[in-house]
Amino acid sequence: MAFWRKATLSRVENPCFLLFLIIFQAIFILILYRGSSSTVLQDHLDMPSPADYSKTQDVYTNLSLYTPAPDKATMRYCTSETVMNVGPLTITFDILPSERTIIDKNPYVQSGGCYSPPHCLTSYKTAIIVPHRNHEKQLRHFLYYLHPFLQRQQLYYCIYLIHQAGSGPFNRAKLLNVGVREALKDDDWDCLLLHNVDLIPENDYNFYVCEEYYPKLMSSAIDVLYYSLPYWSFFGGVIALTPEHYMKINGFPNTYWDRDGENDDIAERIQIVGMKIYRTPLVIGHYKVVYGKQPSGPLQDIIRPVLHTSKTWKDDGMNSLDFKLLAKKKYPLYTNITVDIGAAPILFPQGKKEGNKMSFGSF
């Protein structure tokens, strides 16, 4: 029962906090529901609650109402009055949308996969950073859902794919370091949204913005993980950090090749520098895995590697990052950054480890 012991012994996170979280969550939903019915949804009091997943809406619902303001000079700031959240979204992977379809359905997305609301001013900027290699179908579903999802939230955003060249072991955390460095050359992003390509958000109240003080786990409830946290310090899938948070922990480790554990290393870094992890309330943080499968055994049997983060974090991260930028190309729906991140050390133990691996997050 190492998983529970860890949860109880952990300095930052204890059972009282869990209880607090549940209560907080209930209050949050209440405020959200009442708040929204008194302002945004004034005329639609019969709208479903933001947490009722039996009534879902199309992610493109009413998006065409966001049309360019007639006069840029007098354009107003985006407010909660102009936001069009519908709550739970209909997500299916039965039909693979063509790239043409996605482009046509998102007429205001600009080259490089960037968008700023045409109808209102926003100053908040979110970079979506996605490590990627050989998952073209998942990518298509991802773009089909993510673009309208982000537009519903009136965000200024760009989607960056970080493509690892070659066929060596994949290194997700190092690719994220590369993505952060390259994205910050383009713009002064307020929030770095680090996203697996196979995770699709199911609720548009899950705002893709950062918390001011703490890094945030967006994907707190994933379908194949029974919509629950697999273990308390889980920090994988979709996470949001400000550039300040990111630099404070020296970014992510560069040394996790083709294996799990980098998420735990990152969570450990956050704790070491005295930050905590904020989690999107479970009812809002719903995600579906594209073509996902449940783990083959109980969640508490997931094998988690032994970490040495306290010894390594200061020397392994953004300050030791080296890579060769091979290409940075703007496509209609994303910016494709191709990098040579080197090879895994020769002594790297080859072959998959035994046990119950989670079926996502490893590419």
Binding site for ligand NAG (CB under 6 A): 44, 57, 61-62, 84, 86, 139, 161, 163, 327, 331, 336, 338
- DSSP3 helix / strand / coil % (the chain, rounded to 5): 30, 15, 55
- How many helices (H) and strands (E) the chain has is answered by 8, 12
Residue 59 to residue 203: CA distance in whole angstroms: 9
Tally of CA atoms within 13 A in the half-sphere of 257 that contains its CB: 15
| Shorter beta-carbon distance to ligand NAG: residue 244 or 340 | 340
Q: C-beta of 37: minimal distance to ligand NAG in Å?
A: 13
Q: C-beta of 253: minimal distance to ligand NAG in Å?
A: 24
| Shorter beta-carbon distance to ligand NAG: residue 273 or 327 | 327
| Shorter beta-carbon distance to ligand NAG: residue 139 or 284 | 139
Q: C-beta of 71: minimal distance to ligand NAG in Å?
A: 22
| Shorter beta-carbon distance to ligand NAG: residue 308 or 329 | 329
Residue 166 to residue 182: CA distance in whole angstroms: 20
Q: C-beta of 50: minimal distance to ligand NAG in Å?
A: 12
Residue 350 to residue 353: CA distance in whole angstroms: 9
Residues 6+ apart with CB under 8 A from 76: 69, 120, 121
Q: C-beta of 354: minimal distance to ligand NAG in Å?
A: 32
Put the strands of the sheet holding 199-201 in their side by side order.
Answer: 199-201, 286-289, 221-222
| Shorter beta-carbon distance to ligand NAG: residue 243 or 332 | 332
| Shorter beta-carbon distance to ligand NAG: residue 3 or 108 | 108
Q: What is the DSSP string of 34-82?
A: HHHHHTTTTT-TTPPPTT-TTS-B-TTTTGGG----S-GGGPPBP-TTT
Cβ neighbour number for residue 14 with a 10 Å cutoff: 14
Q: C-beta of 47: minimal distance to ligand NAG in Å?
A: 7
